[in-house]
Structure 1
Amino acid sequence: MEALAREYITLARQMQTTGSYDKALDHYLLAFEKCAALRNEHVVEFRSMMKKYSLILMSVNKIEEIFCNYSRVLKVFPDSVHFVDDTGRYLFKFGFYKEAWAHFVNACRLDPFYATSENNFNLLKNMLVERWHFRMLNDKIRNEGYRAAIHETIVPIKDTVLDVGTGTGLLALYASECSPVAITACDGSEVMACIANDVTQENGAKQVEVIQKMSTSMNYRDVGGKRSLLITEMFDAGLFGEHVLQTLSHAWEHLINNVGRVIPNKAEFFVIGAQCDFLNRRYQLCSSIKSNLNIPTLFVHGSTQNETYDCEDVHLYGEDIKYITQAESVVKVNFNNHLELQDTLNRSEPYEVQLKATQTGELNSVIGFFNLYLTDTVTLTSDPRSEQRANAWQQAIFFDNLPKQIKEGDAIKLEFLLNSGKLTLLPEYMHPITRISPSTLRFLNDTEYIKMISGSISMASVYLGQVADMDQVTVVDLCPFPMLGLQLLKRGAKSLICSALTNSDKQFFLTVFHANDIPMSKVTVLVGQYWPVEMLKDKYHVVFCNILEPSGEIDLQAQEIALHLRKNHVLPGGLFLPSNLKIMGQIVNSHWLDINNRLYDENVNNYKIAKHLNQYQMSQNFCIDFSHLPYVPLSEPCVMSTWDSEAGVEVLQVPITKEGVGNVLLCWFSIELMENMTEISTNRKNCFMDGMLFITEGETPFRQGDVAYVVRCVDYTGAFKLMMQLEET
């Protein structure tokens, strides 16, 4: 039987080379059925074939065939974490979320150390339930404010209530405490509507009817008649970004009766001018780098992706932000006046604001916040300066204003437009703006790293001088901007191959090369995040790869390309940069991170909600600004791994230096550009990338002198995860 099975394997390989993947699959499965011993021996090549076959089927939209194929495979490999995870990944990709969930749960059960399946599971959780639900529900100020307003407003045994955008159903629970005639709650998300239904039923509010629909797609018949009270919390950092104006306008027309009311009663949006170099560097190219690139007069901003403002936790910035104007109201809206709502929505004239400078400085940031006047006596604010601030909402950053020097007493005019119900700061300048991708902007604005790259040029030139004359040196620089490549070209290097994320980035690269008198004949710019590595066919004197994402994680495809280039495309005696990349870790306690990822029932008046929402909490998170993160370190930073570590599981010992409860492992990178050069950490302010972290399942108490055991899991793809425990297992 084994001989026959091996013949099937040979035939399967032949079918694969001719593109007959369907027949190759048949022959592989026949071989595995005939001789189970061959499964482990050939599983890697079989899985590779399955991936190629699935990509072909996906390209011709034969999705059902993909699932049919994996169903057959799982009958042969029922306990293969790889095939279970692959199946889950395709189910996730094509919108079969419940089925994907089941497969990821199974994959994590089959191999708790397999990082890839846990990463995929985290992505699914993040997509199904947005992270802001956790911080919002843990915000006692917000919760108690809404509860007080609801109790003040509802007339028992008389009012009928509609909770729009109910989320977990908390506001509907508050309404049920006041004995209205009826309560209907709606949410457009299938997952949130399901959670709300489970939450209201378990907490005894059986009169609450949950409807899985957007309110704007409903009429009074859907909710059992027009309602006398509408409650909503559909607000983002910019107040109107969740389309609350359109939603309430529709509700007044179709869902609210003639004597109806809305909570909140009113809302008001404010702006304040600030000096914050940290924020400005996130959105605009700083002057020192423009001078370095020889483009001092160019206005270079990050691309906006059609967003008019960004959202940040400005209240955490402390001394890094200085408010230098008074706060001024931009717009105030009465949600209980339908005509005023319509006028606000249809307004074409801008709102004019005069910000009065309270001190001299550079106005380089415009911060927005709001007040919700829930009733005449209950107000919530997102003002970052207020100790009574509700932390459910971030602050809005209007990022396209040009920095200006102001003096105390100056009046600064700003104009805002409501575009489709979303606030936009109108440009106050006539200069053309060059747009580049945010990752390229952040890379260039990391002046410390750029300085280190520029400082390595002399050492690199001396090193390369032993191998070739400078006019013969060929360079590949795949960083978000090829600073090393540019400097070597200025020293006379023969050629540069670089990579631009977008066509806009490519145009910016060419502008910079032209400004530095670099002949375009020396430069090749590849465009796109990924491109076939086969495009690089030669060997080069210098190869500089960046495998780090702005989010804080390793780009696994870029890592694969980097490893390939280091092995196959560096000339003897040539340079590969960086020479080393260490993954650093530190055990900390962070209440802030905890409440952004785990709900506590004590924060929602002891209603039983946590168990329903916490199944969506994640074990890993990204895009964390460590420089403004509130946390207490419990250990010193330790080396957890290197970027090219071999696959496997290893237990690391981390000494505890401070007593406390460990609930998070912060992770960042230490970069050594060239051997014997000083390393640079990515855990610093204004770095080109954020941090990532791993969150423990529970809280682990430590005493000073304890040893924590960190389990490092590295997959063959390079994906990794860290798990923390007090005792070695």
Structure 2
Amino acid sequence: MEAAAREYIALARQMHTVACYDKALDYYLSAFESFPALRKSDHVLEFRSMMNKFSLVLMSLNKIEEIFCNYSRVLKVFPDSVHFVDDTGRYLFKFGFFKEAWAHFMNACKLDPFYATSENNFNLLKNMLVERWHFRMLNDKVRNEGYRAAIHETIVPVKDTVLDLGTGTGLLALYANECSPVAITACDGSEVMASVANYVTQENGAKQVEVIQKMSTNMSYRDIGGKRSLLITEMFDAGLFGEHILQTLSHAWEHLINNVGRVIPNKAEFFVIGAQCDFLNKRYQLCSSIKSNLNIPTLFVHGCTQNETYDCEDVHLYGEDIKYITQAESVVKINFNNHLEIQDTLNRTDPYEVHLTATQTGELNSVIGYFNLYLTDTVTLTSDPRSDKRANAWQQAIFFDNLPKQIKEGDAIKLEFLLNSGKLTLLPEYMHPITRISPNTLRFLNDTEYIKMISGSISMASVYLGQVADMTSVTVVDLCPFPMLGLQLLKRGAKSLICSALTNSDKQFFLTVFHANNIPMSKVTVLVGQYWPVEMLKDKYHVVFCNILEPSGEVDLQAQEVALHLRRNHVLPGGLFLPSNLKIMGQIVDSHWLDINNRLYDENVNNYKIAKYLNQYQMSQHFCIDFSHLPYVPLSEPSVMWTWDSEAGLEILQVPITKEGVGNAILCWYSIELMENMNEISTNRKNCFMDGMLFITDSETRLKQGDIACVIRCVDYTGAFKLMMQLEET
């Protein structure tokens, strides 16, 4: 049997080599079935590789069903293989079979709780199915009690009929149910949220609530048993109108609300205020010191807007990093109980003109937006970042594309806003052309500390390279978001540079900078795109500088694979590979803010039983975390969790606890050593080119000073990484 199996393997490899993947699949499965011992051999790795190639071919031919048929055959032979179960889930997720993908990822995590790839995939699925803001919104008692009070004030028992539009988990429908209306219908376009709402209303005894999984704009009064006398909604984003609330209410007044109907909120008003916030400005516009460094001092360089008219941030956390230097002014106020006013607002083509009065002298470089919801005449909610009574369910809007200006106390600053497709847009006031680059490139360049360190390494690099080659023969590969090292070496006479631009806009910007610095274009090759075949780099080079870190805080596994390949195969003897070392640092913390953004507590929703349904969608890992404004208490000193040379597998790291608290997260950032014997630079700092990542732990774990926390580091052979924590038993 073993001999026959070996022969099958040989035939499978032949078929694999000539891309006859269907026959290779047959031969591999025959080998594993005839000689089960092979199922634990290295042949399984080559079989997985072949399956991935086969699936890519089938995808290109749109033979999706055949992919799942193949994996169904594989799972009959490998029912307990975490890798094949996860691979199957990955393709199910990719093609929209979310329930099936959920089952496979959950099974994979049970088969091997330490397999980071499965958990990462499961987190991606959870994040796609349930947006993270549901947790913070439901944990916001200010918002919840405001809506509850308004609903109790408005509903006439045994008379009103209610429509909860965009119900989410169904909380507002439960509040309405407390008032004994004639009927309650709740609708949500999300299949997952409608399912959660159905479970929640049944669990909490609100059996008369009918939940419909449908967008309200696709509904008529027949879908809800007649027009309703009260509509309740919370479809608001940081910019008030960004969730298409105006279009939704216009449709509702025409099709779903009767002629004596009312809406909660009754009214809403949007405000803007001018601020000086260098932190925010650096997120969206290239700072003057870097422009001078690049020899483009008069160029206006902004991030690509990607059709977004504003960004959303928790400005209320910025503290001393933001200074409000104008009065707040109203942009627009609208009565949601007036259908004609809603339509007029939607159809308006004239801009809303606002005049901000400067309250102090400074640089106006940020425009912050917030809103008031007038739920009734007596109940108001606000997202004003300056207010102690603010509802934290919503972030603030950042209108980021205006040019900074110096203002003096008493000055009047004119701003104009349009409601484009029901979404507020700050009209540009600049007369100069704007150069657009990707946010990745912008953030990299605006990290002045890191750019200074790169520039400071040039002299050391030049001395080092001078021992092996004349500068005029030095060849450089710089794959950072902007090739600052490569540019500086070219200015010192290097022979050539290969660099990588994320977008064509970035490439054009690179060329503009090279031209401004009198660099001959014949010396420069710009590769475009996030990923390109590593085979394009065929030679060996004197200097290779790779960046494997994403702005979100995670390691780009494909970029890491390219970097390791280049380090092994494409650096000349005596050449330089940068960075020389990379570490992941970790710190155990107690953060209430993180907790309420990731886990629902029933006590925050008037003790309705909702948490057990929503908390299924908690994620164990989060990215894009701004540590510089995150409220947390450190419970340990920073510890090294991983280095570039760490081997795959498990390792238990013992971390002493230095302060008592609930260790509900492990914050992670990077320590970068560009060249040996140079100081390291941490990414855990303000205005860094990347955010932080974190791992959520058991939020019930209370730690005491002197305890030893065991942090379990799990690294897959692909480089996927996760941390888990438990308390050392004494």
TM-score (norm 1): 1.00
1:450-469 matches, within 5 Å, as 450-469=451-470
- CA deviations on 1:325-351 (whole Å, 9 max, x unpaired) are 000000000000000000000000000
- CA deviations on 1:566-585 (whole Å, 9 max, x unpaired) are 00000000000000000000
- Does the 8 A contact of 1:285 with 1:444 survive in 2? yes
- CA deviations on 1:619-646 (whole Å, 9 max, x unpaired) are 0000000000000000000101112311
- CA deviations on 1:491-536 (whole Å, 9 max, x unpaired) are 0000000000000000000000000000000000000000010100
* Deviation (angstroms), 1:699: 2.3
* Deviation (angstroms), 1:60: 1.1
* Deviation (angstroms), 1:429: 1.0
- CA deviations on 1:243-280 (whole Å, 9 max, x unpaired) are 00000000000000000000000000000000000000
Q: Percent identity of the aligned residues?
A: 91
1:180-579 matches, within 5 Å, as 180-579=181-580
* Deviation (angstroms), 1:18: 1.3
For 1:5 and 1:721, the matched residues in 2 are separated by: 37
- Does the 8 A contact of 2:595 with 2:699 survive in 1? no
For 1:326 and 1:578, the matched residues in 2 are separated by: 47
- Does the 8 A contact of 1:228 with 1:260 survive in 2? yes
Is 1:726 aligned with 2:727? yes
**Match in the other structure for 2:29:** 29
- Does the 8 A contact of 2:186 with 2:209 survive in 1? yes
* Deviation (angstroms), 1:163: 0.3
* Deviation (angstroms), 1:700: 1.2
* Deviation (angstroms), 1:189: 0.1
- Does the 8 A contact of 2:477 with 2:486 survive in 1? yes
For 1:43 and 1:33, the matched residues in 2 are separated by: 13
For 1:332 and 1:252, the matched residues in 2 are separated by: 18
- Does the 8 A contact of 2:136 with 2:392 survive in 1? yes
- Does the 8 A contact of 2:325 with 2:361 survive in 1? yes
- Does the 8 A contact of 2:707 with 2:728 survive in 1? no
- CA deviations on 1:390-420 (whole Å, 9 max, x unpaired) are 0000000000000000000000000000000
* Deviation (angstroms), 1:728: 5.9
- Corresponding residue SS for 2:697: strand
* Deviation (angstroms), 1:38: 1.5
**Match in the other structure for 2:175:** 174
- Does the 8 A contact of 2:266 with 2:376 survive in 1? yes
- Does the 8 A contact of 1:284 with 1:301 survive in 2? yes
Q: Which deviates the most, 651-660 or 272-281?
A: 651-660
* Deviation (angstroms), 1:5: 1.0
Q: Which deviates the most, 582-591 or 638-647?
A: 638-647
Q: Which deviates the most, 698-707 or 458-467?
A: 698-707
* Deviation (angstroms), 1:41: 3.4
For 2:615 and 2:642, the matched residues in 1 are separated by: 30
- Does the 8 A contact of 1:619 with 1:697 survive in 2? no
For 2:700 and 2:576, the matched residues in 1 are separated by: 45
* Deviation (angstroms), 1:698: 3.2
- CA deviations on 1:575-625 (whole Å, 9 max, x unpaired) are 000000000000000000000000000000000000000000000000000
For 1:60 and 1:292, the matched residues in 2 are separated by: 50
For 1:342 and 1:73, the matched residues in 2 are separated by: 57
For 2:332 and 2:707, the matched residues in 1 are separated by: 55
For 1:507 and 1:699, the matched residues in 2 are separated by: 52
- Does the 8 A contact of 2:276 with 2:365 survive in 1? yes
- Does the 8 A contact of 1:709 with 1:728 survive in 2? no
For 1:254 and 1:725, the matched residues in 2 are separated by: 55
- Corresponding residue SS for 1:37: helix
- CA deviations on 1:138-173 (whole Å, 9 max, x unpaired) are 000000000000000000000000000000000000
* Deviation (angstroms), 1:672: 0.2
* Deviation (angstroms), 1:701: 1.0
For 2:99 and 2:708, the matched residues in 1 are separated by: 40
TM-score (norm 2): 0.99
* Deviation (angstroms), 1:219: 0.4
- Does the 8 A contact of 1:32 with 1:38 survive in 2? yes
- Does the 8 A contact of 2:233 with 2:264 survive in 1? yes
Is 1:708 aligned with 2:709? yes
For 1:646 and 1:77, the matched residues in 2 are separated by: 26
For 1:609 and 1:697, the matched residues in 2 are separated by: 19
* Deviation (angstroms), 1:697: 2.9
* Deviation (angstroms), 1:132: 0.1
* Deviation (angstroms), 1:49: 0.4
For 1:660 and 1:598, the matched residues in 2 are separated by: 18
* Deviation (angstroms), 1:702: 1.2
- Does the 8 A contact of 1:354 with 1:413 survive in 2? yes
Runs of 4+ in structure 1 deviating by more than 3 angstroms, as ranges, are none
For 1:643 and 1:225, the matched residues in 2 are separated by: 63
For 1:256 and 1:109, the matched residues in 2 are separated by: 48
For 1:703 and 1:623, the matched residues in 2 are separated by: 29
Residues 728 and 86 from structure 1, CA distance in 2 versus in 1: closer, same or farther, beyond 3 angstroms? farther
- Corresponding residue SS for 1:329: strand
* Deviation (angstroms), 1:706: 1.1
- Does the 8 A contact of 1:266 with 1:372 survive in 2? yes
For 2:671 and 2:197, the matched residues in 1 are separated by: 44
- Corresponding residue SS for 1:222: helix
For 1:16 and 1:662, the matched residues in 2 are separated by: 49
- CA deviations on 1:659-713 (whole Å, 9 max, x unpaired) are 1111000000000000000000000000000000000133211111111110000
- CA deviations on 1:529-574 (whole Å, 9 max, x unpaired) are 0001010000000000000000000000000000000000000000
* Deviation (angstroms), 1:727: 2.0
- Does the 8 A contact of 1:644 with 1:718 survive in 2? no
Q: Which deviates the most, 655-664 or 331-340?
A: 655-664
- Does the 8 A contact of 1:77 with 1:83 survive in 2? yes
Structure 1: state its 5+ residue gaps: none
For 2:489 and 2:308, the matched residues in 1 are separated by: 37
For 2:528 and 2:643, the matched residues in 1 are separated by: 28
For 2:644 and 2:343, the matched residues in 1 are separated by: 56
Q: Which deviates the most, 694-703 or 267-276?
A: 694-703
For 2:33 and 2:117, the matched residues in 1 are separated by: 28
For 1:55 and 1:507, the matched residues in 2 are separated by: 33
* Deviation (angstroms), 1:83: 0.4
- Does the 8 A contact of 2:662 with 2:699 survive in 1? no
For 1:304 and 1:49, the matched residues in 2 are separated by: 40
- Does the 8 A contact of 1:302 with 1:437 survive in 2? yes
- CA deviations on 1:76-96 (whole Å, 9 max, x unpaired) are 111110000000000000000
- Corresponding residue SS for 2:332: strand
- Does the 8 A contact of 1:590 with 1:630 survive in 2? yes
* Deviation (angstroms), 1:432: 0.8
- Corresponding residue SS for 1:565: helix
- Corresponding residue SS for 2:701: strand
For 2:699 and 2:239, the matched residues in 1 are separated by: 34
- Corresponding residue SS for 1:697: coil
- CA deviations on 1:160-211 (whole Å, 9 max, x unpaired) are 0000000000000000000000000000000000000000000000000000
Residues 644 and 59 from structure 1, CA distance in 2 versus in 1: closer, same or farther, beyond 3 angstroms? farther
- Does the 8 A contact of 1:199 with 1:612 survive in 2? yes
* Deviation (angstroms), 1:450: 0.1
- Does the 8 A contact of 2:600 with 2:614 survive in 1? yes
* Deviation (angstroms), 1:16: 1.2
- Does the 8 A contact of 1:270 with 1:330 survive in 2? yes
For 1:57 and 1:643, the matched residues in 2 are separated by: 35
